[in-house]
Amino acid sequence: MRRRSISPGQCEAMLNVGPSTVSSIMGVYPPEIVARLKEKNIRWLANVTTVAEARVAVAAGADVIVAQGMEAGGHRGSFEPERADTALIGLFALLPAVVDAVGDVPVVATGGIADARGIAAALLLGASAVQIGTGLLRTPEAKLAPAWADAIGKAQPEDTAPTRAFSGRLSRSIATAYVKAANAEGAPKPAPYPVQRALSQAMRDEAAKAGDIERMQALAGQAARLATTEPAGDLVRRLWAEAQAMLKAS
């Protein structure tokens, strides 16, 4: 299983800042970087999409595993980009398997969680915490383009789709006209990352300025419709209170 190539300059900048926590996606840090993270007492959260990746991350020294289900919006965290399409595992199948595989290492659940029911379910399946993405994108603090925020609020699970059309790497987006055309049978195969990202840049920029959702990079997870427009702080406090009540009642 390959490691993603990471810029030494980026790692040096990260270490110089000295944050309390760092994260990784699409691979693991090289051993020399992990050793320096440990020296500085910087916790490392490693995003994984399979049990095999979780084991690799733990062996590499990750302090926390973030298990990303296929429901998640945005880019897939697959270590091997060419296998991302064939390793699409739902969170509630992936989560308990990862928890069982990594022993005492804490596991954060992410992908398709946007309400208290999802939080409570993930915790019951062994997660130590949850990570919410799309569920926070309609909050005022996210400052999302109005067309994108509106589309998130209307999107049913089947209204999103995995695609490589924006960057060359697999991501989950609202199934816009561009995504449907790019995913259609007989459509040209997207260029590899980052070439495809550069090829789609002008279209994405123009769409953002025009508020055109059909050409916009409108990434979103399958639980998009559960996202609300509450302030982020109010939303997080409400979701945690509701999840706690559910767990006490179970």
pLDDT tens for 114-148 read 999 999 999 999 999 999 999 999 999 999 999 99
Report the alpha-carbon distance of residue 190 to residue 192 in Å, rounded.
7
In sequence order, what are the beta bridge partners of 23? 45
Q: List the one residue out of 56, 101, 63 whose CA is nearest residue 77.
A: 56
Q: 58, 105 in Cβ contact below 8 A?
A: yes
Strand pairing partners for 22? 44
For residues 77 and 66, what is the distance between their CA atoms, to the nearest angstrom?
10
First to last CA, the chain: 40
pLDDT at 250 over 90: no
How many C-beta atoms surround the C-beta of residue 16 within 10 A?
Answer: 7
Residues 170-210 have pLDDT tens digits of: 999 999 999 999 999 999 999 999 999 999 999 999 999 99
What value does the mean pLDDT of the chain take?
Answer: 96
* Cβ pair 157, 196 in contact under 8 A: no
User: Does an H or E element contain 76, and which?
Assistant: none
Do the beta carbons of residue 136 and residue 73 sit within 8 Å?
no
Return d(Cα 109, Cα 94) in angstroms, integer: 9
Residue type, 242: E
Q: Give the pLDDT band (50/70/90) at residue 7.
A: confident
How far apart, in whole angstroms, are the C-alpha atoms of residue 136 and residue 229?
Answer: 8
Res 1: pLDDT = 56
Q: How many CB atoms lie within 10 A of CB 61?
A: 16
Q: 219 vs 72, 78, 130, 156, 206, CA distance in Å?
A: 9, 17, 19, 14, 16
